[in-house]
Structure 1
C-alpha cells in the first residue's frame, strides 16, 4: 500500500464524513441510549443509565437489572464509538453531548462509517483494483448503500458490524498474502469485539474460521486466530457476570418467542420488496450475488474433480485408459483450480450470507421495524462489496453495455440512500398511513414507496 493510497483514502473518508453529518435525519430507535452510556462513562466511569430510570417501562430500550438500569442492546458499539466520543467530550464536555445526543449520535455513527468506507478503498486496492476504481467502489459504499442510510444515522449494531466486517476482509486479504500470525491475531480480536457488537457476528467467525481451517497453511497457525477471540470473549463474560450475574447480557439470552418462520412472506419481502428488499435498495448487489454463487460452483466442481482423481487413483482402470482419463481429469481440475483460486473465500462468504438471511427470515419483524430500507440485512454489505470487486474491474470501454448497467444501478442506489439522510418523510413512512409493524404488507406497496416519500 503506497502513501498516496493512504492520503487518497483519508481525504475520501473526510469528505464522506463531512457530507454525512450535513444530513439532519437522526434515526436511532434501538440505538437511542448509546450516547447516554458514553456520557455515563465520561462522568461516572460506568455504563448504567440510572439517570433515565424514570423512563423505565415507557422506553423499551431500558432494562432494569438489580438496582441499576441498562441499555437493553449490545454494548460493543459503545466501545467502537469511544474514540470519536472522547474527542467530542474533550471539546464540548459531557453535558453538551447529553443535551444534543441525537446530533452527537449522527456524528459518531458518521465517523464509524467514514472509517468503513476507507477500509472499502483499502480492500479494493488489496484485491488489485486501481486507485480510481477503488475510489468508485468506496464512494458507492459510502453514498449508495445502507452504510449511509442506516449506518450513519445512529450507532446501530449494524454500524459496528459493517465497520468490523470491512476490517476483517482487509486482514483476510493480507493474510492470504503473508500467511502470518499477526493477521490471524487481528481477525480473532476483531471477531471477539464483533460478538460484543452483535451476536450474529458468530456467522462471520464461523465462515472465516472454516475458510482458515480448509487452508493448509493457515490451519497450522489457527491458534493465533482462536485464542485472541476467546480472550475477548472471556472479558465479555466477566463483564456480564459483573453487571448482570449471568454469563451473557439479557439480549443474548432472549427466548425464541420473536421467531415466526413465515418464509413464504419473509424471504421475498426482505430480498425484493420495494420498501425493504435488499436488492431493491441495492440493485448493483445482484452482480455480487452472481459472483458468490459462481465462485461457490467453481469450488464445488473442483472438489468433485479432486474426488474423481482420488477414486481413479484408488481403483485404477486398465493402464492406457486410466492414464488418458487421469490426464484429462487433472487437466480440467487444473483449469477449475485456477478459476477457483481467483477467490476461494467466496463459498464461505456465501455461507455467511445464507446463514444470516435464514435467521433474519425466521424473525417475526423481518422487515426491521422502523427502518430506512433493509436494515437487518445491512450486516452483509461488506461481503457484497467484496464480491462486487471483479465487476468493478470490468467497468471499461471494452464492456460499455455492462459498465453502463452497473453504473446506473449504483447511481440509483446513491439517490435513494442520500435522500434518506436529508428527507425526514422517508422515516415517517414507517408510521403513516399505518404503522409498518401493524401492516408489514406495506413493504410491497408500490404506490407508496419509502424511496421517494
Structure 2
C-alpha cells in the first residue's frame, strides 16, 4: 500500500466516523424530551401548508384561533409573526408528510414532523462543521472539534429543542462559510457567486440577523475576490427585491414587522444585556460553554504568530462576533424568553466554527505544559457537553426553570437571569421551590398584589390561581415599556400589570404558593408546604369557628396535614379520586391584620420554614370554601 493509499484509507475511516456522529446527533435530537415546539416555532409548518394549499403565507384559512403572540394581523389578514423563510424551504417536506397522513394544523402532527426536520438539521450541522474544519485541520482534530462545537454549545440545546428559524439560518451560513474557506484555502478558485448569493438571501429570509454575516461576506469579497462580488450581490439583491415586492403585494408593506428596526429598542441597559449574553448564570455564552472562552483566548494568543491574511480573516470574524452581540443586546427580549441558555446567540456559532478552523493550531498549542493544558481543555469540554447536550435536552427541570408551571415566569422577573443562587444549568426541583419562595416573598415585600378581605362562603377555585402567572418583579435596571415596541409585538411578552384587582376591576381573594399553575381546572402540588394565601378576615369573625370544605385528589392514598397560619388543624386521608373533605378551624386562628395562609404538607413531613420539594405522591387542588359560625 502506498502512502497515498494509506492516507485515503484513513480519510475514509474518519468520514464514516463523522457520518456516524451525524446519525447519533440526529438520534439524540429526535428523542430528547426537552422540546420547545409549542413556543415560537409553532405554526412554522402551518405556513408551509398555507403555501401548498392557498399559494400564500396568509393563515386565514389554516387556523381558527388567532389570539396569540405567534400571529400578527395586518390589514385584516393573519400572518405568522416570525420569519417565513424556514416555512418556505421545508414546504416539500410538509407535502411529503401530508402524503404520509400528517396534518400539521394538528399540534401533535406538527410535533412529529418538526422532530423529523430538527433531527435532519442536526445531522447536516455536524457534516457542515466538519467540512469547514477539515479544510484546514487533520480529520481527527476536525472530528474532535466538531463534537466540541456541536455537542458542547448552544447549537445542541437549540437545534435539538425545535425547528427554530435559527436552525436553517445557521446551516445556510455554514454552507456559505464553506464556500469562502474553500476559496481562502486554495481548494477552489471561485466562491461560486450564484450559489453564495442564494445562500445569503435565504439566510436573511430565515432570520434578519443574518444581515450581519452578509456584510462580513461582502467585506471578504471586497478584500480578496472583487471579481465575484458583483454577481454575488446581484443574486442576493434580486432575491431581496422579490421578497420585498411579494410582501408589498400580500401585506401592503415591503418588510414584515419582524424585520423592522423597532425590535432593537430595548428597555435593558446595553451593558446589562451585553454582560448577560456572555456571563450571566442563566444566559451567558461562556458560562454554559466555558470551552468556547478557552478556545477564544488561545486564538487571541496566537493572533500575532499567524500569517497576515489569516489575521485579516480573524479580524472580520471578530467584527461579526461583536456586531452580532451588539444587535442581540439591543433586542428588547435579548434573553430569548422560555429558552435554555443563550439561544439567541445560536446564530453566532458559525463565526465560532470559522474562527476555530483558521486559528486552531496544527500542533499542540502548549508545548510547555501539555498535561495541564489538555486537562483543563478536557474538563471544560466535558462540562460544556454536559451543560448543553444533557441538561439542555434531557433534564426537564432546566426547561421548567423558565417558569413553565411554577412561577416566576422569567419574562416577568428577568432579574433571575443574573441570580447566581438559581443558575439554569444547575436547576433542580428543590432549587425551583426555593426560587419560587423567594419570588413570592418579593411580591409581598414590594406590594405587587392586593388581597381583599375574604368573604365567608367564597369558593377559591384552582383556575383562579392562574392570576399568579400575571404577576412579576420589575428589575431596577429595566426601563419602562415603550409604546412602539407593543406595536411591533402582536402580544406583549412583558406586560408588567402587577395589580390584577385594579386591572380586572374584581377583587383578588387568594393566591397559590407552592403549586404548579392551573391545568384542567386543578393545581398540582410542587413544593411543601403547598399554600393558599388569602386576605384578612373581618375582626368580628375572628372569635368564631370556621368550617372548611376542600376538594382534593391524590395520585396515591396518603395522609396530609392542614395548617392555618402555622397552627396544625387536621389530618386528611386522601383518596385517588376527586373528593370533598371538611375540617374545622378553631376560633382566633385567622388574622385581621394581614394575609392568612392555609398550608398542606405530607403527613410524614414536619412543619418547616424552608420550602422543599413535595416528595410524597402529588396532590391536586380543585377548590376551597370557608364559612364562619360553624
User: TM-score, normalized by length of structure 2?
Assistant: 0.60
2:414 to 412, 431, 440: 440
Worse overlay, 271-280 or 140-149 = 140-149
Q: Distance in 1 between matches of 2:307 and 2:361?
A: 18
CA shift for structure 1 position 256: 5.1
The answer as to 2:384 corresponding to 1:375 is no
Question: How many residues align structurally?
Answer: 410
What residue is the counterpart of 1:331 in the other structure?
none
Q: Distance in 2 between matches of 1:98 and 1:274?
A: 33
CA shift for structure 1 position 424: 2.2
Closer, same or farther: CA 377–153 of 1 in aligned 2, 3 Å: same
CA shift for structure 1 position 95: 5.6
Q: Distance in 2 between matches of 1:340 and 1:235?
A: 39
The answer as to 2:75 corresponding to 1:70 is no
What residue is the counterpart of 1:36 in the other structure?
46
Asked if 1 retains the 8 angstrom alpha-carbon contact of 2:263 and 2:331, the reply is: no
CA shift for structure 1 position 354: 0.9
Asked if 1 retains the 8 angstrom alpha-carbon contact of 2:180 and 2:191, the reply is: no
CA shift for structure 1 position 52: 5.6
Gap regions ≥5 residues in structure 2 = 1-7, 428-630
Structure index of larger Rg: 2
Asked if 2 retains the 8 angstrom alpha-carbon contact of 1:137 and 1:392, the reply is: no
Q: Distance in 1 between matches of 2:196 and 2:287?
A: 32
CA shift for structure 1 position 214: 1.6
Q: Distance in 2 between matches of 1:436 and 1:387?
A: 33
Aligned counterparts, 1:49-68, within 5 A: 49-51=59-61, 53-56=63-66, 58-68=67-77
CA shift for structure 1 position 230: 1.1
The answer as to 2:318 corresponding to 1:350 is yes
What residue is the counterpart of 2:215 in the other structure?
206
User: TM-score, normalized by length of structure 1?
Assistant: 0.82
Worse overlay, 117-126 or 40-49 = 40-49
Q: Distance in 1 between matches of 2:386 and 2:91?
A: 31
Worse overlay, 411-420 or 248-257 = 248-257
Worse overlay, 65-74 or 249-258 = 249-258
Q: Deviations over 1:94-115 (max 9, x none)?
A: 3697542123223312211221
Worse overlay, 253-262 or 352-361 = 253-262
Closer, same or farther: CA 79–256 of 1 in aligned 2, 3 Å: closer
What residue is the counterpart of 1:362 in the other structure?
330
2:240 to 218, 229, 233: 233
Q: Distance in 1 between matches of 2:144 and 2:264?
A: 43
The answer as to 2:423 corresponding to 1:452 is no
CA shift for structure 1 position 121: 0.7
- If each structure's helix is expressed as a fraction of its own residues, which one has the higher value? 1
Greater relative CO (CA pairs within 8 A, separation 6+):
1
Q: Distance in 2 between matches of 1:84 and 1:393?
A: 41
Gap regions ≥5 residues in structure 1 = 299-335
CA shift for structure 1 position 46: 3.3
CA shift for structure 1 position 43: 4.1
CA shift for structure 1 position 358: 0.9
Closer, same or farther: CA 379–247 of 1 in aligned 2, 3 Å: same
What residue is the counterpart of 1:271 in the other structure?
278
Q: Distance in 1 between matches of 2:364 and 2:106?
A: 44
Q: Deviations over 1:346-388 (max 9, x none)?
A: 1111111111111122223222221111011111111112223
Closer, same or farther: CA 394–94 of 1 in aligned 2, 3 Å: farther
Aligned counterparts, 1:275-290, within 5 A: 275-290=282-297
Q: Distance in 1 between matches of 2:12 and 2:255?
A: 43
SS in structure 2 of the partner of residue 63 of structure 1: strand
The answer as to 2:388 corresponding to 1:417 is yes
Closer, same or farther: CA 85–25 of 1 in aligned 2, 3 Å: farther
Q: Distance in 2 between matches of 1:205 and 1:150?
A: 22
Closer, same or farther: CA 442–145 of 1 in aligned 2, 3 Å: same
Q: Deviations over 1:160-185 (max 9, x none)?
A: 22212211221111122256445333
Q: Distance in 2 between matches of 1:238 and 1:54?
A: 28
The answer as to 2:19 corresponding to 1:47 is no
Q: Deviations over 1:211-265 (max 9, x none)?
A: 22122xx012211221111122122123212321221122213535742360231
- If each structure's strand is expressed as a fraction of its own residues, which one has the higher value? 2
